[in-house]
């Protein structure tokens, strides 16, 4: 199992796009891949990739701005413990 961690599994560019493409490529080569991100919604087409599991702490989108710093701190510490 390969864990790919990114800030968001939502459509967009930058590191999120690289993480999604990497996860899809690894799954296509037969690996079991978990793509984990803090926010959604899930990028179109990712839910249909065999061998790819997607986990989002907030699948509906980012949390309200007033709690965002707290959520980011918890996410970073949780990801650090998981790795």
**pLDDT, tens digit (0-9, with 9 covering 90-100), for 60-71:** 876 666 666 766
Asked whether the bond before 63 is cis by omega within 30 degrees of 0, the reply is no
**What is the average pLDDT value for the chain, to the nearest integer?**
84
In this prediction the pTM is 0.73
Identify the pLDDT of residue 12.
84
What long-range pairs does 13-19 form, CB within 8 A, spacing at least 24?
16/43
Which residue, among 35, 61, 57, has the nearest Cα to 46 in the 3D structure? 35
* Token representation of residue 2: 């390969």
Mean pLDDT of 48-59: 90
Confidence band (pLDDT; 50, 70, 90) for 40? Answer: confident
What pLDDT shows up at residue 67? 64
Q: Is the pLDDT of residue 17 over 60?
A: yes
**23 or 82: which leads in pLDDT:** 23
DSSP state of 56: E
């Amino acid at each position: 199992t390969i864990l790919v961690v990114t800030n968001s599994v939502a459509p967009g560019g930058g590191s999120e796009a690289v993480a999604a493409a990497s996860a899809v490529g690894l799954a296509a080569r037969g690996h079991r891949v978990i793509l984990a991100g803090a926010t959604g919604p899930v990028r179109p087409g990712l839910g249909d990739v065999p061998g790819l599991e997607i986990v989002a702490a907030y699948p509906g989108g980012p949390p309200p701005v007033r709690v965002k710093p707290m959520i980011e701190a918890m996410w970073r510490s949780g990801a650090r413990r998981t790795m």
